[in-house]
Amino acid sequence: MQLVVQEDRFDIGRETEGFIAGLAGAGAVVTFIGLVRDNGGRLSAMEIEHYPGMTERAIAAIMEEAKARWSLADAMVIHRHGRLGPDEPIMMVATAAIHRADAFAAAEFLMDYLKSRAPFWKKEIGADGTEWVAAKDSDEAALTRW
Amino acid sequence: MQLVVQEDRFDIGRETEGFIAGLAGAGAVVTFIGLVRDNGGRLSAMEIEHYPGMTERAIAAIMEEAKARWSLADAMVIHRHGRLGPDEPIMMVATAAIHRADAFAAAEFLMDYLKSRAPFWKKEIGADGTEWVAAKDSDEAALTRW
Amino acid sequence: MKIDVLYFAWVRERIGLPREKVETQAETVADLIAELCAREERYAYAFADLPALRVALDQELADFAAPLAGVREVAFFPPMTGG
Amino acid sequence: MKIDVLYFAWVRERIGLPREKVETQAETVADLIAELCAREERYAYAFADLPALRVALDQELADFAAPLAGVREVAFFPPMTGG
């Protein structure tokens, strides 16, 4: 289990390969990568604020929950904060299991909980000014299925 | 949309990065990677037979169906055939969308259909002899949810 | 008519060849299977458990009752195990 | 008692600072909010729409009725938008 909260950009390919290299015998790997959308060129940057300390605690708790619910060989969460440019990776989740259904379910679960229960706040900085990204009702609703 | 059926090993990190580099504005990427399991050291190789021609047609049809069902920015399928060693990647699916739910659903759909509707057959070569991998009822059952 | 008949995985191994041209008047897939089984033991062995087999006509999945009129390529194989 | 009070995102921007030490006898989160709102306009502005706010006590999500006894760190912020 690997959990990283960092400001620096990360290398998606290298992280994926490193995750896979560390596996022993699990045949199914699912990854999710979240990227900064440029909203048709109107976004110049995204600023991500977080709550140091609580962020790590909250993500660790979510990962423990995923480990308890599904048969996972491994899981990884990388989430950035600070100022990010268009098309940069924001975060990445990876899960590995013997059966693909476990890897898929755990990755979706981790994403749903990261969206609404890990203390990050996104601010979009664009030509038209800055705006805090509003939480979506659909993200809160997504939690009810687990 | 990219569809590759090949004998050569592929580079998971590079394929993931190439897929992402080709996206315009989609913030959610899901990948699935299937690896040869070594079954606790008992497997020395996996041989994958396929039906050239039908393989490409079947996968293209599955990808078209995914594109029709979900709002996807892009999708990619790479599947190998021939002789593979333990821990080598067998195949990879990638999907990209604006909303993560679309990317996850399409990736799972592609996997479920690739498992049971694309003409590949796996044979395990191990210390105890060789054996064709049997199709699982659970894989056939997985199709009924879509 | 002359049809290309293809075999994959353990069907191929049991019959002992990957493909052959078959001269047949069979009207359906089931008729073709019956003709092949009557030929030689190895065909009867390969087709012994029909529910464990799948068939594709011109590279599209079909069923055993499907007509062969106009079909150029018939393939027999076990359930697929891709992914 | 002295409590560390933290503010994030637009709550931080409205109040104008990321954290402060608050001397308070408030028994619950709601009491603490009432005390802060009585202090200055910028607090009343930040806490104007409570359903749009979340609170964490010692880095665990809580609700506004939660007691403050033993709590060292209270954080106020809008719904999270990670991922």
Q: What is the mean pLDDT of chain D?
A: 97
Q: What is the mean pLDDT of chain A?
A: 95
pLDDT number for residue B40: 80
Tell me the nearest-neighbour CA distance from B30 into chain C, angstroms: 16
Tell me the nearest-neighbour CA distance from B27 into chain A, angstroms: 5
pLDDT number for residue B127: 83
Digit-coded pLDDT (tens) for A37-93: 987 888 999 999 999 999 999 999 999 999 999 999 999 999 999 999 999 999 999
Of residues B138 and D32, more confidently modeled: D32
Task: Enumerate the domain spans of chain D.
Answer: 2-77
**Phi, psi at B67, each rounded to 5°:** -65, -35
Residue at A79: amino acid letter: H
- Residues of chain C whose pLDDT is less than 50? none
- Helix (H), strand (E), coil (C) string for A33-92: EEECCCHHHCEEEEEEEECCCHHHHHHHHHHHHHHHHCCCCEEEEEEECEEECCCCEEEE
- A127 pLDDT band, cuts 50/70/90, is confident
Is A20 in contact with B12 (Cβ distance < 8 A)? yes
Is A30 in contact with B32 (Cβ distance < 8 A)? yes
User: In this model, does residue A128 exceed pLDDT 90?
Assistant: no
Q: List chain A residues with CB under 8 Å of B25.
A: 37-40
Q: List chain A residues with CB under 8 Å of B146.
A: none
Whether C9 has its CB under 8 Å from any CB of chain B: the answer is yes
Whether A92 has its CB under 8 Å from any CB of chain B: the answer is no
Q: Which domains does chain A possess?
A: 2-145 (3.90.1170.40)
pLDDT number for residue A25: 81
H-helix or E-strand containing C22?
strand C19-23
Q: Span D53-67, mean pLDDT? A: 98
Comparing CA positions, the residue from A25, A74, A23, A72 lying closest to residue B41 is: A25
Whether B31 has its CB under 8 Å from any CB of chain C: the answer is no
pLDDT number for residue B41: 82
User: In this model, does residue D18 exceed pLDDT 90?
Assistant: yes
What are the helix (H) ranges across B2-81?
12-21, 54-69
Q: What is the pLDDT along chain B (146 residues), one digit of tens a residue?
A: 999 999 999 999 999 999 999 998 899 999 999 999 988 888 999 999 999 999 999 999 999 999 999 999 999 999 999 999 999 999 999 999 999 999 999 999 999 999 999 999 999 999 889 999 999 988 988 999 99
Is A54 in contact with D56 (Cβ distance < 8 A)? yes
pLDDT number for residue B42: 86
Where on the phi/psi map is residue D48: left (φ > 0), alpha (ψ -120 to 50), or beta? Answer: alpha
* Highest CATH level, class, for C2-77: alpha beta
pLDDT number for residue B39: 80
Roughly how many angstroms between the first and final C-alpha of chain D, as a whole number? 36
